Amino acid sequence: MMHPNQFDGSAAFSGGGFMPSQATQAPDPSPFSSSRNSDARCLIPVTVKQLKDLSRNCESGISIDGVDVNTVVLVGIVCKIDNAITDCTFRVDDGTGWIECTKWVHEHIDSAEVEAISVGKYVRVYGQLKSIQGRKTLNTFSIRYYSFSSVSYVFEFSLNF
Amino acid sequence: MDTSDPAAFVNGGLLHMHVGQKVRAVIQVIRSDVGSVVGKSTDDIQIIVKGSPPIPRTNYIEVIGVAVNDNSIRAEIWTNFGDTFDAYNYDQLCQLANGWFKHLFL
């Protein structure tokens, strides 16, 4: 026999009033479900350290905290440039590491973008992460000079993501 | 890709955590001496940066180099950051990059 002050848990939860049944449970509303995000195109601010530590999701490729990584943006200093006729390969160092980026030159606007960058300048790079035989590089869509006062905003944005 | 040589975001108060290591900091220049610059970090601590600043230089400079001791850096790279700069925002970044989000930077 229960003491008057004892809590009878089985009686308290037997009605199931606040516990929805499996049949009526709503689907997961999280926008970051990797299985529903496989075709989404997100622009994700990252650091090179983050890219190095990326996990490989067998279903959808590379991901950060369950979000598929497709297009990324990072800010750093150009530390090396190799110009060829059809492409420009350069290294960007954001302080956490460096990554090789490739910008393919098809049109005048591409060559103008490439000619404007130089070693030692802060740039903002948009690109798609490529991993070939374990080596990660950035297939660059756009590279721009970056205003110094905004450098810290970009890094903080990558923290908030 | 290589992350073996990172430069930690530091202010004056965090410099002691990275003595002998590569660091980066933004300073507001107080005065230039021969072979060094005396500046104020984003948390208002006076630090000495050894080396030669760019010419011309702006009021705010980012330096990347090795932390010599608690209040000085031997700079290898100097970058003009302009005459106006959000020092508070950068200081918050330094706190986060050395604290809760350290794994994203170092």
How far apart CA A154 and CA B35 sit, in angstroms, is: 32
Q: In the prediction, which pLDDT does A44 show?
A: 87
Q: Which residue of B has its CA nearest to A101?
A: B1
Going by pLDDT thresholds of 50, 70 and 90, the confidence category of residue A31 is very low
Mutate to test the interface with B, among A48, A80, A96 (most CBs of B within 10 A): A96
| Residues in contact with B68: Cβ distance below 8 Å, sequence separation at least 6, in sequence order | B19, B50, B74
In a domain, B13, yes or no: yes
Q: Which residues of chain B have pLDDT under 70?
A: none
**Does the structure show a pLDDT above 60 at A39?**
no
**Does the structure show a pLDDT above 50 at A23?**
no
Going by pLDDT thresholds of 50, 70 and 90, the confidence category of residue A25 is very low
Q: To the nearest whole angstrom, how far is the Cα of B53 from the nearest Cα of chain A?
A: 14
User: Is the CB of A51 inside 8 Å of chain B's CB atoms?
Assistant: yes
A91 close to A98: Cβ distance less than 8 angstroms: yes
Q: In the prediction, which pLDDT does A152 show?
A: 61
Q: In the prediction, which pLDDT does B14 show?
A: 96
Determine the longest span between alpha carbons in chain A, in angstroms.
Answer: 89
User: Of A95, A100, A135, which is closest to B6 when you measure between CB atoms?
Assistant: A95
In a domain, B21, yes or no: yes
CATH superfamily of A36-160: Nucleic acid-binding proteins (2.40.50.140)
Distance of CA B9 to the CA centre of its chain: 7
Tell me: ipTM over 0.95.
Answer: no
Contact B3 A148 (CB under 8 A): no
- pTM of whole model > 0.80? no
Range of the domain at B84: 8-93
Q: Which residues of A touch B84 (CB under 8 A)?
A: 149
User: Is the CB of B17 inside 8 Å of chain A's CB atoms?
Assistant: no
In a domain, B100, yes or no: no
Which residues between 107 and 136 in chain A have a beta carbon less than 8 angstroms from any beta carbon of chain B?
A: 120, 122, 135-136
Of B6, B4, B9, whose CA–CA distance to B99 is shortest? Answer: B9
Contact A152 B86 (CB under 8 A): yes
More reliable by pLDDT, A28 or A157: A157
Q: In the prediction, which pLDDT does A135 show?
A: 81
Q: pLDDT tens digits for A130-152?
A: 887 778 899 999 998 876 655 56
A149 close to B82: Cβ distance less than 8 angstroms: yes
Q: pLDDT tens digits for A95-132?
A: 999 999 999 998 888 888 888 889 988 999 999 988 87
**Does the structure show a pLDDT above 90 at A32?**
no
Least confident of A43-57, A77-91, A143-157, B28-42: A143-157
Count interface pairs A-B at CB distance under 8 A.
Answer: 77
How far apart CA A128 and CA A71 sit, in angstroms, is: 5
Q: In the prediction, which pLDDT does A131 show?
A: 80
In a domain, B12, yes or no: yes
Q: Which residue of A has its CA nearest to B92?
A: A156
In a domain, B105, yes or no: no
Contact B1 A137 (CB under 8 A): yes
What residue ranges do the domains of chain A occupy? 36-160
Q: Which residues of B touch A153 (CB under 8 A)?
A: 89
Q: In the prediction, which pLDDT does A94 show?
A: 92
In a domain, B99, yes or no: no
Q: To the nearest whole angstrom, how far is the Cα of A140 from the nearest Cα of chain B?
A: 15
How far apart CA A89 and CA A81 sit, in angstroms, is: 6
Token pair 């070939």 in the structure block, residue: A132
Half-sphere exposure of A153 (CA within 13 A, CB side): 8
In a domain, B81, yes or no: yes
Q: In the prediction, which pLDDT does A150 show?
A: 59
Total domains, chain B: 1
User: Is the CB of B78 inside 8 Å of chain A's CB atoms?
Assistant: no
For A103, list phi and psi in degrees, rounded to 5.
-115, 115
